[in-house]
Structure 1
Amino acid sequence: MKAANGTLFDKDGNPKPGILRGIERALDIQRPLILSNLNRLRRRHPEASPAELARFLERDYLRATTAAGAAVGATAAVPAVGTIASLGLSAAATIGFLEATALYAESVAELHGINTEDPERSRAMVMAILMGEEGTALIRSILGASAGQGAPQYWGQMVSKSAPNSLVKSLTKSIQRRFLKKFLARQGGFMLGRALPFGAGAIVGGTGNHLMGKAVIRTTHEAFGPLPHTIPGELADELQLPKPGNGEKRA
């Protein structure tokens, strides 16, 4: 456990600069990548509704994160890979999980008609989703009072649309402090589990990522609510349907 925490934190208990930079990059998914992700699904399923596209996103997200966690955990069973090396790979897997989560959550936000162009709003939204109930409570406590009677029913829309920029900046600072403390502390335990030998690391890594992924999906549903029946206008204009007869297969 000491080695696992030493991979993430310095001697003063602060996240290491490399880990912080990795987290910041992982959370800052650019909108063109999100649109490309949705385009990929829409080309394969041109008649799919937003709800159906969201289910495909969930499927791909869970498959990718579960497989990645298991793959990193499996390295601990390789004799040539030591514990410290396994912990380093596990730290990289943590960043990969964050990237996959940001891509999933922001893709779902776009299906709700929420533009993810603003990186600060998107970052706050993703961190709150990863924090689950605590993130939801924090957002409602900071933004709820200011929104008053006209507040959106779902907090994901509050963060992404109606909240003033000054409040979003305050929210981002507050949530980032708590997010880093809670998420990285939890990851220390997961990193240790993924480094277990004899194949146990693969089980812990795959199961841990799967459970975290399921929690992310559940919180994302709570953040944005039901999906619209049709692709929102701005997003529909940016998504490209395949041309007839191009021979592209559906997945």
Structure 2
Amino acid sequence: MNDAPELDPSVATGIDRLLSVQRPVVLAHIRSIRARHPEASPDRIIAILEKRFLAAVTAGGAAVGASAVIPGVGTGVSLALTGVETAGFLEASALFAQSITEVHGISVEDPARARALVMTMMLGAPGAQVIQQFTGQFSGQPVDRNANWGRAITSGLPSFAIGPIADRIKRAFIKRFVVNQSASAIGRAVPFGIGAVIGGAGNRMLGGKIVASSRQAFGPAPAVFPEELAVPERKPRVIRVAEKKAAKR
């Protein structure tokens, strides 16, 4: 029985779009972090990704919650702004999930797999159980409930299996997503500054669950980075300045 809320097709399409981040964007994101932290190990880069993700989603929730106390911005406007913040949360979650995947040496170029990955991370344990159930069905072998499920959805399961899996996960995701966002949206619209606290704390709590889910999905960080994440060696500043001056002549 499908008891997930019915969504307007355009809304469902919008969610799909927000949950898909093109791989070049993901690679550029990780390389930029590596360029700023050239000595950082994969484990350290993952920690930075987690910290940035939590900071981004927490700030988004607090910003929308604070709008309830700004002169001229009422509760109705705050609820409308929550839709914008929700889009930002989904985009941040998608970028984070796919970035973690790339650090683990797994490239996700199939949009369906990418969306399923992000939705499963956001669902947490219920989503992981769906992946493990399908993995057991296709392999014909029992699956350890504590096993890392990330590789199964990103590369392990055959392509023809992704459609049914994604549909089932999406139904569960929409059901939980709509309920969670409705409750937190009301919280962020509470006036007198309380909304900012509820919004930021609520987003951080959900973000923390996504971080925990990502760790369960892939396990410990790898010892080395995949070749795709290599950062070109930067020339010394003196040479870069000289080249820039020469180019202007």
State whether TM-score is above 0.5.
Answer: yes
The one of 108, 120, 124 aligned to 2:112: 120
Q: 1:136 to 1:13 in 2, by over 3 A?
A: closer
Q: Which runs of 5+ in 2 are unaligned?
A: 241-249
Q: CA deviation at 1:84?
A: 1.8
Q: 1:136 to 1:150 in 2, by over 3 A?
A: closer
1:199, 1:60 → 2: CA distance? 25
Q: Secondary structure at 2:162's aligned position in 1?
A: helix
Q: Map of 1:50-89 to 2, 5 A cutoff?
A: 50-89=42-81
1:232, 1:87 → 2: CA distance? 43
Is 1:132 matched with 2:127?
no
Q: 1:28 to 1:169 in 2, by over 3 A?
A: same
Judge conservation of contact 1:143–1:167 (CA < 8 Å) in 2.
no
Runs of 4+ in structure 1 over 3 Å off: 16-19, 148-153
Is 1:245 matched with 2:243?
no
Judge conservation of contact 1:147–1:163 (CA < 8 Å) in 2.
no
Higher Rg: 2
Q: Which runs of 5+ in 1 are unaligned?
A: 1-11
1:20, 1:77 → 2: CA distance? 32
Q: Secondary structure at 2:232's aligned position in 1?
A: coil
The one of 32, 38, 55 aligned to 2:30: 38
Offset from partner CA, 1:123-160 (integer Å, 9 cap, x none): 10110000011101111112222134597942100111
The aligned counterpart of 1:178 is: 172
The aligned counterpart of 1:168 is: 162
Q: Secondary structure at 1:130's aligned position in 2?
A: helix
2:220, 2:129 → 1: CA distance? 20
Identity score, percent: 40
Q: CA deviation at 1:244?
A: 2.9
2:185, 2:233 → 1: CA distance? 42
Is 1:219 matched with 2:205?
no
- RMSD of the TM alignment (CA)? 2.0
1:107, 1:246 → 2: CA distance? 29
Q: CA deviation at 1:226?
A: 1.0
1:171, 1:138 → 2: CA distance? 8
Judge conservation of contact 1:73–1:194 (CA < 8 Å) in 2.
yes
Q: CA deviation at 1:85?
A: 1.3
